C-alpha cells in the first residue's frame, strides 16, 4: 500500500510538472523536490505512515561479461546447420 502511495505522489508531482510545462512555465528540480517533500510530510501527518525513498540505480561501469564462442562452438554450430540442410534436402 505504501509503495503505491509513494508512486502516486511521484506520479502526481510529475503530472503537475507536465501540466505547468504545457502552460508555459517550467518547474525546476528544487521546486519539484519541495513539492515531493510537502506531499511526503502531508502523508505522514494524515496517515501517520512512513515513506521510503529509493536512490536511482547507478549505471554499471562495465558491461556484463559475455562469453565469446570458441572454435569448438563455431564448428558445432556449422555441423548442426549442415545436418539441418541435409534433412531439408531429403524431404520431398
Cell of 72: 569448438
Write down the pLDDT at residue 61: 82
Write down the pLDDT at residue 19: 54
Name which of 5, 29, 8, 7 is nearest 17 in CA terms: 29
Domains in the chain: boundaries: 2-55+67-90
Residues 6 or more apart whose CB falls under 8 angstroms from that of 51 comprise 2, 5, 6, 9, 40, 43, 44
pLDDT per residue over 41-80, tens digit each? 998 888 887 877 788 888 878 877 888 999 999 999 999 9
Cell of 58: 547507478
Amino acid at each position: 500500500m505504501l509503495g503505491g502511495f509513494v508512486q502516486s505522489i511521484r506520479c502526481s508531482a510529475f503530472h503537475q510538472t507536465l501540466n505547468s510545462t504545457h502552460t508555459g512555465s517550467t518547474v525546476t528540480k528544487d521546486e519539484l523536490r519541495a513539492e515531493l517533500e510537502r506531499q511526503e510530510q502531508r502523508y505522514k501527518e494524515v496517515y501517520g505512515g512512513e515513506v521510503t525513498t529509493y536512490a536511482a540505480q547507478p549505471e554499471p561501469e562495465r558491461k556484463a561479461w559475455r562469453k565469446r564462442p570458441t572454435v569448438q562452438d563455431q564448428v558445432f554450430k556449422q555441423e548442426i546447420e549442415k545436418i539441418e540442410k541435409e534433412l531439408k534436402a531429403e524431404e520431398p
